[in-house]
Structure 1
Amino acid sequence: MSQDLPITLTELRTVGLSELHKRWGWILALGIFLVALGTVALGASVFTSLVTMVFIGWLMIGGGIVQAIHSFTVKNWSGFFIDLLAGILYVVVGFLIVAHPAQTGIALTLLIAMFLIFGGIFRITVSLMHQFPNWGWVLLNGVISLILGILIWRQWPVSGLWVIGMFVGIDMMFNGWSLIMLGLVAKDIPKSGEVPETPEAA
C-alpha cells in the first residue's frame, strides 16, 4: 500500500486552494465577462427575454425527442405510453414556445408575479406569527417579494416583455461579481491561505 495515504483534510484543502490560485486569472476574466454580459442583457431586456424563451423551447424540444426515443428502447415496459406521451408533450410545448416566445414570456411573467406575491405574503405572515430568530430578515424578504410581484403584475402584460430578461441580466451580474471576488481572493491565497507546517512528533 502507498505510504502517502490517507490524505489529510488539511492537505486536501491546501491542494484545492493551490488549484484556485493557479486559475485566478481565468476566474476573474469569467467574472468580468459575465458582468459585461449581464449589463448588456439588462440594457436589452426585451431581446434577452425572447432569446431566453427560445432557448428554453429548444431545450424542451431536445429533451422531448430524447425521451421519445428512449421510450422505444423499453417498448415492453408498462410505462411505455406514458414515457412516449411525455416526450411528445415536451416537443409540442417546446415548438409552441419557439413559435411564440413573446406570448410565452408574458404568460410566464404572470406566473412569476403570482409566485412573488403569494410567496411574499406567506413569508410576511409566518415571520410575524412566529417571530423566530432573525425573523426580521424573512419579513424584509417577504415585503420585497410582495412589492416586486405587485409592480410586475401592475405593468402586466407589458412587463412580460422585459421581466425575464431583467432577471437573467441580474443573475449574470451577481454571478459575475461573485466570480470576480473569488478570483481576487484566489490571487492572494498563497499568503492568506498558507497552512503552517506543524513540527513532527519526536
Structure 2
Amino acid sequence: MTLPEENTRLQAELNAAVHAHWKALLIEGVLFVIFGLAAIILPPFASLAFTILLGWMLLISGVIGLALTIWARQSPGFWWSLASAVVALIAGVILLARPLEATLTLTIVVGAYFLAEGVVTIMYALEHRRELIERWGWLLASGLADLLVAAVIISGLPGTALWAIGLLVGINLLFGGASMIAMALAARNR
C-alpha cells in the first residue's frame, strides 16, 4: 500500500525526470507524429509493414522463448512454456511467409476486437449508468463508435485489409506523439 507522502515523492521524482529529459520526449513525440502521418497517408504500406514487424517480433520471441525454455527445462510449467514459444515461432513464420494474407487475418481479428469491445463497453455503460450519472453517455458513445469501426472494417473485407491496420496504427502514433509533444513542452516550462 502506498502512503500519500510516498505518492508525492514519486510524483516529484517523475516530474523532475520528465523535466530533465524533455528534449528526448519532444524528439520521440515528433518522430511518432511523422510516422503516424506517414501511416495515415500510406495505409497499405503501413499495414504491410506492421504485419511484417509483428511477424519478426513473434519469430524472435519464439526463438528466445524456445531457447530459454529448453535451458530451464527443469522449471515448473515447462510444457506450457514450450507450447507458448512454439506457437509464437509458428505465428511469426506464418506472418513473414505470407504477409498479405496475414494482413487480412489481422484485419479480421481487429474487426472482431472492435465488435466485442463495443458490445462490452455499451453493456458496461448501461449496467452502471446510475453510478456514472452524467459520464455514462461518454461510455455509450465510445461503445457505439467501436461498433461503427467494426462495421466499416468487417463490411468492407477483404478491401479494408489494405488500409485498416495501417490507418489505426497511424492514428495511434499521431495521438501518442502529440501527447508526448504536449508533455515535453509542459515539462520544459516548469
What does residue 63 of structure 1 align with? 61
What does residue 143 of structure 1 align with? 144
Q: CA RMSD in A?
A: 2.4
What does residue 111 of structure 2 align with? 113
Distance 1:84 1:186 in 2: 45
Equivalence map 1:1-202=2 (5 Å): 13-14=11-12, 16-76=14-74, 79-132=77-130, 133=132, 134-189=135-190
More deviation, 76-85/65-74: 76-85
Higher helix content, 1 or 2:
2
Structure 1 counterpart of 2:23, one-letter code: G
Displacement of 1:77: 5.1
Distance 2:121 2:7 in 1: 39
Between structure 1 and structure 2, the one with the greater Rg is: 1
The 3 A distance-change label for structure 1 pair 135 and 91 is same
Structure 1 counterpart of 2:167, one-letter code: M
More deviation, 16-25/178-187: 16-25
- Normalising by structure 2, we get a TM-score of 0.83
The 3 A distance-change label for structure 1 pair 64 and 23 is closer
Gap runs ≥5 in structure 1: 1-6, 190-202
Distance 1:153 1:104 in 2: 16
- Normalising by structure 1, we get a TM-score of 0.79
Aligned length: 183
Gap runs ≥5 in structure 2: none
Structure 1 counterpart of 2:49, one-letter code: V
The 3 A distance-change label for structure 1 pair 63 and 188 is same
Taking only the aligned residue pairs, the percentage that are identical comes to 26
